[in-house]
Amino acid sequence: MRIVLSGGGTGGHIYPAVAVARQLEAEEKHTEILYIGGTRGLESKLVPQENIPFKAIDITGFKRKLSLDNVKTVVRFLKGVKSSKEMLREFKPDVVIGTGGYVCGPVVYAASKLGIPTLIHEQNAIPGLTNKFLSRYADTVAVSFAGTESSFPGSKRVIYTGNPRATTVTTANPQRGYASLGISEGSTVVLVVGGSRGAKAINNAMIEMAPFVGKGKGVHYVYVTGEPYFEETRKVLRQKLGGLPNGLHILPYIHNMPEVLACTSLIVNRAGASFLAEITALGIPSILIPSPNVTNNHQEANARQLEGEGAAVVILEKDLSGKALHGVIQSIIGDEDLRQKMSQHSLRLGKRDSAGVITNELRRLISNKK
């Protein structure tokens, strides 16, 4: 099986594509994969690190306001379609998969025009502009949240698959997670993370809350600042606390996130779709602080899906403070019945076989083409 993957801009678009690649490699011995990404996106760094062959096109997204830059974007799109067609003709894929981000636009569009079967995956509860555009051309639209199929009226085929990133975490080893953090097995881990680069609002709340954390017996706060905020945040906390308590662990980034998630009892985080797929696959209760700085406020829509099912508590950034956050954490950690109920609700929302569902759909598309 020969597969082209495309997705970029953020890890939320890249990691689902990588999860599909790993699932195909496990299921099909002779799978060959090419990843087409952007020259400027995070995928240009992450994908080669995964040892997946990578080629790039130069593409940017549309501005929401009238701008000369949009004219340049149209020109780049047309050039990207031409370059994508050349790459696709050379590689001869059986199917092309887009997982979001503007780089998918020219790649999936080019594949459609060449008669190559296509599938796009929408991670969020509110679709992005690129996937709304591509849904008119793709053979299959896959969605992460049950009930959001209606967001793609007029599409050829829309199916609920869940997010393939969920499959990645289900085999993670919690013992390795504890060991990597230097925490005793069986301890209660409260993981606080604001995304791959951190979130200033969450960091500020944690600094306010710091004098109250790390005091509960057997409770460990793992606080991931993001690389840009790490040194300054650690310096402020040391000054504020006169040193760091044993129960507070401050890290700039976590490279083995699936293993750390596997040993986590409660998570405080943004509401990016891939992260929500991971925590529901593992049944982790969550406190979600959606980023207000995203298109169509889609993170709040993602978070409300979990909150509505009893799996999460949502705190909007405008209402966030150290006192408010600490109060919600304590209400969950201090009530084992509540935490277990939230865990059960979270697990019910998780779709653990998402990557497998998508690879089965890819086979169906290829078989229909033949």
Q: Is 218 known as a binding-site position?
A: no
Q: Is 154 known as a binding-site position?
A: no
111 CB-near residues (< 8 Å, 6+ apart): 4, 84, 88, 93, 96, 117, 118
Q: How far apart are CA 366 and CA 24, in angstroms?
A: 14
Q: Is 265 known as a binding-site position?
A: no
Q: How far apart are CA 109 and CA 312, in angstroms?
A: 37
Residue pair 172/261 in contact (Cβ under 8 Å)? The answer is yes
Q: How far apart are CA 141 and CA 122, in angstroms?
A: 7
Q: Is 11 known as a binding-site position?
A: yes
Q: Is 254 known as a binding-site position?
A: yes
Count of Cβ atoms closer than 10 Å to residue 304 Cβ = 16
Q: How far apart are CA 250 and CA 224, in angstroms?
A: 6
Q: How far apart are CA 30 and CA 27, in angstroms?
A: 9
Q: Measure Cα distances from 275 to 12, 322, 357 in Å.
A: 8, 23, 19
319 CB-near residues (< 8 Å, 6+ apart): none
The DSSP bridge pattern shows strands 158-160 and 54-57 to be unpaired
Q: How far apart are CA 161 and CA 122, in angstroms?
A: 10
Q: How far apart are CA 238 and CA 43, in angstroms?
A: 35
Q: What is the DSSP string of 98-111?
A: E-SSTTHHHHHHHH
Q: How far apart are CA 17 and CA 333, in angstroms?
A: 34
Running DSSP on this structure, what letter comes out for residue 70?
Answer: H
Q: What is the DSSP string of 310-323?
A: TSEEE--GGG--HH
Q: Is 57 known as a binding-site position?
A: no
309 CB-near residues (< 8 Å, 6+ apart): 345, 348, 349
Q: Is 124 known as a binding-site position?
A: yes
Residues flagged as binding site: 10-12, 124, 196, 254, 299
Q: Which residues are annotated as a binding site for UDP-N-acetyl-alpha-D-glucosamine?
A: 10-12, 124, 196, 254, 299
